[in-house]
Chains A and B, each alone.
Chain A
Amino acid sequence: MTGSTRRSERRGTLGTNEVVEVRPGAYHDSVTLMRAGRRLAERPGVSAALTAMATTLNVDLLAEMGFTPPPGARPDDLLVAIRADDEAALESARATVDELLATRTAPRAFGAPPPPRTTGSAARRIDATVALISVPGPYVFAEAMDALEAGLNPMIFSDNVPVEHELALKETAARRGLLVMGPDCGTAVIGGVGLGFANVVRPGRIGLVAASGTGAQQVMSLLDEAGAGISHVLGVGGRDLSAEISGRSTLQALRALDADPATDLIVVVSKPPAPEVGDLIRSAARRLATPVRLGLLGEGGGDLTAVAEDALNTVGAPLPEWPSWTPAARAHPPRRGRIRGLFAGGTLCEEASIVAGSTPHEMTDLGDDRYTRGRAHPMIDPTLRLERLAAETARDANAVVLIDVVLGHGADPDPAAALVPLIRDARVPVVVSLCGTSGDPQGRDRQAWALAGAGAAVFASNAAAARHAAALAEGS
């Protein structure tokens, strides 16, 4: 029933704590009405109640119950009559009539309804807080708008989302007090639940805001290794700190983590933002009660390991020695040349490039839009990278091949299995940056030993892996 219907249709006669309403044309079946009447009568303070169609029989029944039958009621009118001990009980009973008549449960007897076909439809079936969207980029917008309209925070895993779509989504989210994570957001951890690609980290007091998925995975894995825990990781998407998007999600995420009692320190993990956006973030961070550290890759020579170390220093935690696993015997004598990097993680690729510095290198991010159009991300489908790895480890032009292996939820259940034979057959040294935690389903140490056993040098710190590769390429 619409509000206006109610206004115009109800004729109430208020006696001493009783009411008889007539609602013309509001048909309900008799079982629904009897149930509603019984539920009303069971309410504390209600002494009598009837909800029924105004048939002659029911009008007589109403009179027998001591109510004054309304004049002119017709059989297709709905009668609602309530008598209560006091006015409060009467009013509260009245207020539940619509709810009682409207109560529907999901149909059980005749099978489940067909699966939802839109995010909006799914959102009506579950009381969710997040919509994880990984449909092709051009189609993301409508699904994400559905999520926002239903009060859900979209996490957009997809890339190839037009920037104007991103802007419109983030403006809508701001109006609704929600957060758009993404687009191109690979990682989030919320209350211990990993969304997208996420490592299993111990719970703790450090919250991350990350414009980079693998950047966040590297930092959270290192913090976990050091014994510091994570409250939440909120992804914001790789373009969020661009001049066009102007940090809309970063600002929203900072406010949310500031308000979160579980978070004592916020670390922003990002590539250097557009200058004016950097100023915006810094000034917003200063206004928060929770301390904020900006972990900006490449700014002032910082790498992700340095970001993790800075966070550990800030909370007063001791710095561990970052684990590495080196092969028992060196299969390949060192020889000067270039580093050939084949990465699944874009930020890990970029970091390796920064760390390699003047050492000759060619780093390829196989998760880049160029390689993922029409195919899955290399963390989901490793085929392309395995082909490249086989080719590059056979080329004399490469002094060393550097790869990343990212563990955690969503990633390959046993990435080492496919890599081991290629590493074993490699004609050049292979260095692996292994991003993961001991809690990850793949088991970081198990993966590390398998890779090292095949002859690779394995590092938990991506920066350390890149430095090791650089040293090999310099002939040491």
Chain B
Amino acid sequence: MRGRDDDGAGLGGLLTREVRVVAAGASVLTDALAEQAVPVESVEWRPPDGDLAADLAVVTGDRRLPEANAEAVRRMLGARPHLVDVRPAGEVLGIERGAFLHAGPPLAWDRASGPMRGALIGAALFEGLADTPEDAERLLRAAPLEPCHHHRAVGPMAGVVSPSMWMFVVEDAESGGTAYCSLNEGLGKVLRYGAYGPEVIERLRWMAGDLGPRLRDAVRAHGPVDLRAIMAQALHMGDELHNRNRAATSLFVRELAGDLAEAGGARALRFAAGNDHFFLNLAMAAGKVSADAARGVPGSSMVVAMARNGTDFGVQVSGTGDRWFTGPAGVPDGLYLGSYGPADANPDIGDSTITETTGVGGFAMAAAPAIVRFIGGEVPDALAATQRMYEITLAEHPAFQVPILDFRGTPAGIDVTKVVRTGLLPVVNTGIAGRVAGTGQVGAGLVSPPAEVFAQAVHALAEQATITP
């Protein structure tokens, strides 16, 4: 930032420095500058959709905004998440037997999609609250359902958490905050995609009885695991930490292998090493603890959560507290497994968009050329996607870099005013769940949030803006 002190001559050197111009608007005026050989950087300006000019002016005129956003993004990017423990959800999240957490913004059973219902049924069966899916369904109609996000937690896809499931406990060494995420079950028929068959329940029981306790012992023996360091390295190794976690998983398993072996965790070790997405849940908890550090900065227009429950897509913004701005979740556009097609796809689901919220996932797409075709794109699309996101973000991540972009920091800290001004929506990489409960994963691709959630957020910020000093 420059200003009065820049050169002592005032007006930022307007009358003393070489004239160089940023131009937004009529090209005839830009051409007139080009004729005079004046250096010009032209803005590709387009009018925002909808009637938002007044709200935008109020929010961008809020005197708190620049400092509030600087503070929010400083907190988010300054976070140093460490895995410190692994513990049962019932002990750390304050949820009682019979209560369930789910991904995304708040949701009632009657609006829940197939995979969300399937995962809730599976969790009820796993907890021994019901013997049959039908019984579970009856019970779930009246069961307390709450978003993971309301308990400092996140969950991938359906994101269903019940008290007996084990959670990664991640602390931010900078802010002292804590966040939680469940353990990743692997691919195929898994609860998070809405499957609740016997093999799903059996795996959950093993995870609670063996994987969780062994991981706990290993992490406690090892000491805090620096997740940011692993994530930074994984981005150099072709992960974007949402749809590709192969490098990060390898680094994590390598880090913990000795302690897991000593803790009698041979099966746990094999399980983690055999699951390319094992690290996803750690990346998510790391994202959650980082984004939570940036919550509640008055006046800030930075997004601190993007999450989907399979029905709605919701965002939360630092300056508007715990309020959710929601719109219909879209169906991802991508590639399908086997004979599945778009008709089998459920609308977007999961808290894993916390990765994009914190500057990885789709925002780091350029770091992961190996998976661009898996989600239906080409390498130049990946480069373009990451570079486009700098237009709607507040900063470049100091630790997460994209080698192919000359080690530029990933775009981080989504500013809702920039989303609305440019019409550029956050790019989200995601898995696609089958719409019928119990199907599991049917594909992977890209999805856009509904534009209206950002417009709602700008409107809410406008209503509480401080205009006058």
Contacts and interface: CB of A to CB of B under 8 A. Distances in A.
Interface in A20-52: 24-27, 29, 32
A129 B29 contact: no
Contacts of B33: 132, 193, 195
Nearest to B30: A132
A105 B407 CA distance: 9
Contact of B14 (A5, A133, A190): A190
Interface in B198-249: 226, 228-230, 232-233, 236
B19 interface: yes
Nearest to A32: B407
Given A142-B60, A194-B36, A256 B22 contact: no
8 contacts: A2-B174, A116-B43, A126-B41, A128-B22, A130-B21, A130-B22, A131-B22, A190-B15
A106 B41 CA distance: 15
B82 to A, nearest CB: 9
A145 B61 contact: yes
B365 interface: no
B408 A104 contact: yes
Contacts of B21: 126, 128-132, 195
A455 interface: no
A158 B42 contact: no
Nearest to B58: A141
Given A142-B57, A149-B66, A409-B36, A134 B22 contact: no
Contacts of A307: none
Nearest to B417: A142
B135 to A, nearest CB: 48
Interface string B37-48: 011111111111
Interface string B430-461: 00000000000000000000000000000000
A129 B20 contact: yes
Contact of B4 (A107, A116, A128, A176): A176
B74 interface: yes
A337 interface: no
Interface of B: 1-6, 9-15, 17-26, 28-30, 32-33, 35-36, 38-48, 53-54, 56-57, 60-61, 66, 74, 77-78, 80, 174, 226, 228-230, 232-233, 236, 380, 383-384, 387-388, 390-391, 398-399, 401, 403-409, 417-418, 421-422, 424, 467
A147 B10 CA distance: 16
Given A136-B47, A177-B12, A151 B422 contact: no
A300 to B, nearest CB: 31
A134 B26 contact: yes
Given A128-B20, A178-B12, A190-B19, A26 B399 contact: yes
Nearest to B386: A113
Contacts of A152: 12, 22
Interface in A307-342: none
Given A117-B45, A121-B43, A145-B60, 18 more contacts: A2-B74, A25-B399, A76-B233, A109-B406, A116-B41, A117-B44, A122-B23, A126-B41, A129-B11, A129-B17, A132-B23, A143-B43, A157-B29, A176-B3, A177-B3, A177-B10, A178-B14, A193-B38
A232 interface: yes
A29 B42 CA distance: 34
Interface string A85-106: 0000000000000000010111
A316 B178 CA distance: 76
B391 A116 contact: yes
B403 A29 contact: yes
A196 B74 contact: no
Contacts of A138: 53-54, 57
Contact of B391 (A29, A109, A121, A151): A121
Interface in A160-176: 162, 165, 168, 172, 176
A352 interface: no
Contacts of A111: 380, 383
Contacts of B409: 104
B86 to A, nearest CB: 20
A118 to B, nearest CB: 6
Contacts of B17: 129
Contacts of B12: 129, 151-153, 177-178
Contacts of B54: 138
B177 to A, nearest CB: 14
Contacts of B390: 113, 121
Contacts of B233: 27, 76
Given A117-B422, A153-B12, A4 B78 contact: yes
A109 B406 CA distance: 9
Given A118-B422, A178-B3, A27 B229 contact: yes
Contact of B22 (A107, A114, A126, A410): A126
Interface residues of A, number: 86
A46 to B, nearest CB: 24
Contacts of A8: 174
Contacts, number: 251
B421 to A, nearest CB: 6
A143 B15 CA distance: 22
Interface string A398-418: 000000000001100000000
B388 A441 contact: no
A260 interface: yes
A386 B217 CA distance: 85
A173 to B, nearest CB: 9
A2 B36 CA distance: 42
Which 4 pairs from chain A and chain B are nearest by CB?
A: A177-B4, A134-B25, A151-B2, A138-B53
A191 interface: yes
Contacts of A135: 24-25, 45, 47
Contacts of A177: 3-5, 10-12
Contacts of A1: 398-399
Nearest to A131: B22
A110 B405 contact: yes
A59 interface: no
A62 interface: no
Nearest to A181: B14
A193 B36 contact: yes
A467 interface: no
Interface string A251-269: 0100111011010000000
Contacts of B5: 177
A135 to B, nearest CB: 4
A122 B421 contact: no
B226 A76 contact: yes
Contacts of B424: 117
Nearest to B28: A380
Max chain B C-beta neighbours (<10 A), residue from A4, A139, A441: A139
Nearest to B391: A117
A323 to B, nearest CB: 25
A255 B3 CA distance: 16
B10 A132 contact: no
B29 A151 contact: no
Contacts of B53: 138-139, 141
A156 to B, nearest CB: 10
A127 B418 CA distance: 21
Contacts of A2: 74, 77-78, 174, 398
Nearest to B229: A76
Contact of A123 (B13, B22, B384): B22
Max chain B C-beta neighbours (<10 A), residue from A26, A27, A157, A172: A27
B377 to A, nearest CB: 15
Contacts of A257: 15
Contacts of A147: 22
Contacts of A262: 15
B35 A441 contact: yes
B20 A119 contact: no
A262 B28 CA distance: 30
A288 interface: no
B422 to A, nearest CB: 4
B25 A107 contact: no
A197 to B, nearest CB: 8
